[in-house]
């Protein structure tokens, strides 16, 4: 899968090479429309897709593959102010978010 952000298609290969994502609870910072999320989410335990852009998260919800509806949770918030008091994650991802 390639995109205008990754025309060479490096992201899917890089994500596939991260064994820590398998069965993990993942925090994706800057999830946006889910472009990156859909490339790895199926092998995780769960994904919290964090983004301050409500419009982008609306696209994430709209484009979410049906099999991931119980696995991916979009959350509208800035990474500087995480809305979790006691949540724990096994891994955190971000791309094009800084």
Whether the predicted pLDDT of 1 surpasses 60 = no
In a domain, 29, yes or no: yes
- pLDDT, residue 61, reads 95
pLDDT in tens, 23-53: 999 999 999 999 899 999 999 999 999 999 9
Supply the pTM of this predicted model. 0.85
User: In whole angstroms, how large is the CA radius of gyration of the chain?
Assistant: 13
CATH number for the domain spanning 41: value is 3.40.50.150
pLDDT in tens, 8-23: 778 878 888 888 899 9
More confident residue, 4 or 86: 86
**Is 14 inside any structural domain?**
no
Q: Is residue 57 domain-resident?
A: yes
Please tell me the distance from the alpha carbon of residue 1 to that of residue 41, in angstroms, as a whole number.
14
> Which is nearest to 11 in space by CA: 77, 34, 23, 67?
34
């Amino acid at each position: 899968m390639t995109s205008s952000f990754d025309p060479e298609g490096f992201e899917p290969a890089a994500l596939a090479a991260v064994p820590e994502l398998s069965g993990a609870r993942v925090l994706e910072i800057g999830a946006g429309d889910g472009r990156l999320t859909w490339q790895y989410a199926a092998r995780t335990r769960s994904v919290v897709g964090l983004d301050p852009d409500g419009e982008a998260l609306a696209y994430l919800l709209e484009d979410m593959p049906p099999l991931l509806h119980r696995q991916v949770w979009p959350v509208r918030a800035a990474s500087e102010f995480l809305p979790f008091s006691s949540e724990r994650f096994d891994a955190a991802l971000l791309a094009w978010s800084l």
